[in-house]
Amino acid sequence: MDAILVVGGAGYVGSHACKALAQAGYKPVTLDNLRTGHADAVKWGPLIEADFGDADAVRAAVRQHGVTAAMHFGALSLVAESVAEPARYYANNVAGTLRLLQALGDEGVGRIVFSSSAAVYGEASSDPIPEDAPLNPINPYGETKRVIEGALRFIGRAQGLAWCALRYFNAAGADEAGEIGERHEPETHLIPNVLQAVRAGRPVKLFGSDYPTPDGSVVRDYVHVSDLADAHVAALKFLGDGGESQPMNLGSGAGLSVLQIVAAAERVLGHPIAAEMGPRRAGDPPCLVADPNRAKRLLHWTPGRSDVDNLIATTAAFEATRPIRQR
């Protein structure tokens, strides 16, 4: 059984990737400092509690488990926090990742799948966005992802490390068997916030109705977290078969507005949802929609679980297992 180091495997996307790896016959070895991850989300392989920037811990994990490849989900990922504390974001997401890459190189690990983000594009220059669109991140979070993509290009070549940088659009939904889901503290994402507000009996707060979009609210490309997980396994195989190192967008290719998400949630839940429309949230680009054709073509990937009803139904089922959040 091939052992794969899953950095950040206790987090939202990372834990779903561990499940997909196990189902595909790999042994996922999670390395996570559990600052934002959850130990009880690590169900499909061992958990090593360590920082990914701790090169000794990474080297020891690789040797102990005979790791042949890595996936790197570990990052601070709150956009507003990154604006307030950029140095912490650079230290963790950039400096920490450089130490991780060095440690993997020391141990001869030859493949890595890196979690990048649509945040590398900043304000979209086209709709949909292809991978060769200009990279103009508008916040430190997106900039840290862009810097690591650039570093992978050079370090990969020097170190014999094949890489894919998977640029997620809006990860959403939860494991269809209900074993794992999204548990951010604080939660900033739209779909879980809608469902948490409904359960708590308070109106959901929506940010901005004056965008240059068809209904005035922000348009995003929501993609199911288990579809993202499958793309990681496919990218690992792609690199193993000699596929070229490159970035790939992961999105459904379809845009949905904030108001359309609320309407879909009303349809799925079967009752009206109280919403309070407020001003724009700082730093939200009006519209980000992926051109996912590269991943579809090269990884033979289909985002088959990403229809909006399934995103909402799987999130609602997972939320129903959690305490009601009053906030």
Q: How far is CA 47 from the centre of its chain?
A: 20
* b (16+ CB within 10 A) / e for 169-207: bbbbbbbeeeebbbbeeeeebbbbbbbbbbeeeeebebb
CA distance 159 to 229: 26
Shortest CB 218 distance to ligand UFG, Å? 3
Nearest approach in angstroms of CB 178 to ligand UFG is 21
CB of 39 to ligand UFG, least distance (A): 23
Q: Which of 43, 189, 296, 325 binds ligand UFG (CB under 6 A)?
A: 189
Q: Is 218 in the site for ligand UFG (CB under 6 A)?
A: yes
CA 27 to chain centre: 21
Strand duo 219-220 + 275-278: pairing: unpaired
Q: How far apart are CA 283 and CA 86, in angstroms?
A: 15
By beta-carbon proximity to ligand UFG, the closer residue of 30 and 117 is 117
Catalytic residue among 141, 168, 211, 222: 141
Token pair in block for residue 22: 């196990």
Q: Give yes or no for residue 77 binding ligand UFG (CB under 6 A).
A: yes
Q: How far is the CB of 202 from ligand UFG (least distance, A)?
A: 11
Tell the smallest beta-carbon distance from residue 264 to ligand UFG (Å).
13
268 vs 120: CA distance, rounded Å: 32
By the rule CB under 6 A, 49 interacts with ligand UFG: no
Selected range binding ligand UFG among 6-14, 52-60, 204-212, 244-252, rule: CB under 6 A: 204-212
d(CA 149, CA 130): 16
141 is catalytic: yes
Quickly count: other Cβ atoms within 10 Å of residue 65's Cβ. Answer: 18
Stretch of 6-14, 34-42, 99-107, 185-193 lying at the interface with ligand UFG (CB under 6 A): 185-193
Residues annotated as catalytic are 141
Give residues in contact with ligand UFG (CB under 6 A): 77, 79, 117-119, 141, 170, 188-190, 193, 205-207, 218, 220, 258, 281, 284, 288
